[in-house]
């Protein structure tokens, strides 16, 4: 298992290129199942989760040809013969559920292992299932698998009980090939949903209202191929911005798009990050100790739960007290214990953490518990006195493209140590 060794104290400076968005890439890869024609995705980030999704799709019979030099892949689902997402895939990546809607819509059946609990909470998929049932699918559970059938899905009006990102994406993809009109109410407004809708439209889908909480889809008989550039990863960009603030650095984030970042940019500005928004990216710098910023996670455009751990790390060294409330996932404070090991002063009261900023953190041995928690620990470590060892870095590899290389190029002292290797 790989670890990071990080020597704190370096200020980040230079240029970094933000990669394609993981949370956009995963549904877009699944959209290939909706057509027999080739779908080419550009700006595809070379991440562990993307690998897993490509493997899952290849296992169903989708032909995948990759062009790594160009960070692109072409997928063609003209010989799909296994309408399945097996347990081994779903257990490592919950987003595997995103094949359910497209498979059912185009082939009339699907078998997807039911995702279990995960580190950051229960994360059920009941809304995906109920939405597809409202479109006429027959769904039952068999040996832990969701087994779904429908001769042809029918348009329906579906209001989900809560805003769900992958739920919206699954139903949106299913609706493109349904008979008649589907209206999704309480739909997720996340930029990744908009990116998916754009690609589906390029494939011939008829969609209105993406980016709002009401999406209307007029089903068509068939979709065609397309070529689509994946949007830049707003969470990777936000993570680098938080790191610039925490280390008082000066960095240009190429391809970062402030418009997609919702409340993250405002919160970082309140905390003291100076930002100049350019056409091709964001220049960010900070000179002072961060100011504390209180925040509450909520669906887009409010503050993203995927940025909570990183801002917690910034607040841990801020000049004052802040509160951080998590409203999306019930168990997403696991980084708090690890930050405490580094000297952070954080108390948890239910869904709220009260953070009393300290002047310096100190290096320690800590453990990454999930993808974004790992990013929070990396930020904390870069500000700390001495060396921090972060274990279980595989979480980070699921969603960050070559993070240590990018940080090292900006002047951070980060080393990856592979188990068994001498340091």
> Which residues participate in catalysis according to the annotation?
118
Judged by beta carbon, residue 10 or residue 23, the one nearer ligand UD1 is 23
User: What would the 3-class secondary structure string for 29-65 be?
Assistant: HHHHHHCCCEEEEECCCCCHHHHHHHHHHHHHCCEEE
Among 26, 175, 257, 312, interactor with ligand UD1 by CB under 6 A = 26
Of the pair 37, 352, the CB lying nearest ligand UD1 is at 352
* Helix/strand/coil percentages in the chain, nearest 5: 35, 30, 35
Which of 240, 252, 329, 333 forms a contact with ligand UD1 (CB under 6 A)?
Answer: 329
Q: Is 128 in the site for ligand UD1 (CB under 6 A)?
A: yes
| Subset of residues 58 to 97 that bind ligand UD1, contact rule: CB under 6 A | 94-95
> Least CB distance from residue 156 to ligand UD1, whole Å?
16
- Residues between 234 and 253 that touch ligand UD1 (CB under 6 A): none
Which stretch, 70-78, 135-143, 159-167, 400-408, contacts ligand UD1 (CB under 6 A)?
159-167
Q: At a CB cut-off of 8 Å and minimum separation 6, what does 69 contact?
A: none
Q: Rule CB under 6 A: is residue 328 a binding residue for ligand UD1? A: yes
Quote the radius of gyration of the chain (alpha carbons, Å): 21
Asked whether position 305 contacts ligand UD1 by CB under 6 A, the answer is yes
The token pair that represents 248 in the structure block: 């008082």
167 belongs to the binding site for ligand UD1 (CB under 6 A): yes
Q: Which secondary structure element, helix H or strand E, spans residue 141, and what is its range?
A: strand 138-142
Give the binding-site size for ligand UD1 (rule: CB under 6 A). Answer: 21
Query: Which member of 84, 145, 195, 306 binds ligand UD1 (CB under 6 A)?
Result: 306
Looking at 136-144, 164-172, 207-215, 268-276, which segment touches ligand UD1 (CB under 6 A)?
164-172
In the complex, least distance from residue 92 CB atom to ligand UD1, rounded to whole angstroms: 13
Nearer to ligand UD1, 165 or 377 (CB): 165
Upper half-sphere CA count for residue 179 (Cβ side, 13 Å) = 8
Chain Cα centroid distance, residue 49: 10
Q: How far apart are CA 279 and CA 277, in angstroms?
A: 7
Identify the helix (H) or strand (E) that includes residue 335: helix 334-341
Whether 47 contacts 398, CB under 8 Å: yes
Residues that bind ligand UD1 (CB under 6 A): 23, 26, 94-95, 121-128, 162, 164-167, 305-306, 328-329
């Amino acid at each position: 298992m790989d670890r990071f060794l990080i020597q704190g104290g370096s200020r980040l400076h230079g240029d970094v290129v933000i990669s394609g968005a993981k949370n956009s890439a995963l549904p877009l890869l699944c959209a290939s199942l909706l057509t027999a024609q080739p779908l080419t995705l550009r700006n595809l980030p070379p991440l562990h989760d993307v690998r897993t999704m490509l493997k899952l799709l290849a296992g169903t019979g989708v032909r995948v040809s990759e062009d790594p030099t160009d960070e692109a892949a072409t997928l063609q689902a003209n010989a799909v013969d296994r309408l399945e997402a097996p347990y081994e895939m779903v257990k490592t990546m919950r987003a595997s559920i995103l094949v359910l809607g497209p498979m059912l819509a185009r082939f009339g059946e699907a078998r997807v292992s039911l995702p279990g609990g995960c580190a950051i909470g229960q994360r059920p998929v009941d809304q995906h299932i109920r939405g597809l049932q409202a479109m006429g699918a027959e769904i039952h559970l068999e040996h832990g698998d969701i087994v779904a059938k429908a001769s042809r899905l029918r348009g329906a009006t579906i209001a989900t009980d809560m805003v769900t990102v992958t739920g919206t994406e699954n139903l949106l993809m299913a609706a493109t090939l349904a008979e008649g009109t589907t209206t999704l109410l309480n739909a997720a407004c996340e930029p990744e949903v908009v990116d998916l809708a754009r690609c589906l439209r390029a494939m011939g889908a008829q969609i209105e209202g993406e980016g709002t909480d009401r999406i209307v889809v007029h089903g068509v008989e068939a979709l065609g191929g397309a070529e689509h550039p994946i949007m830049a990863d707003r969470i990777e960009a936000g993570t680098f911005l938080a790191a610039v603030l925490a280390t008082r650095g000066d960095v240009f984030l190429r391809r970062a798009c402030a418009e997609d970042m919702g409340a993250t940019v405002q919160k970082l500005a309140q905390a003291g990050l100076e930002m100049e928004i350019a056409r091709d990216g964001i220049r960010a710098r900070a000179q002072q100790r961060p100011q504390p910023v209180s925040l509450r996670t909520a669906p887009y455009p409010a503050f993203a739960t995927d940025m909570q751990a990183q801002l917690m790390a910034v607040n841990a060294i801020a000049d004052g007290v802040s509160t951080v409330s998590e409203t999306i996932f019930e168990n997403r404070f696991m980084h708090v214990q690890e930050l405490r090991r580094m000297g952070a002063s954080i108390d948890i009261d239910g869904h709220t953490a009260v953070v009393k900023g300290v002047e310096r953190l100190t290096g320690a041995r800590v453990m990454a518990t999930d993808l974004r928690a790992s990013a929070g620990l990396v930020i904390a470590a870069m500000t700390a006195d001495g060396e921090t060892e972060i274990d279980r870095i595989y979480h980070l590899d699921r969603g960050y493209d070559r993070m240590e290389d990018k940080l090292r190029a900006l002047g951070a002292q980060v080393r990856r140590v592979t188990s068994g290797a001498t340091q």
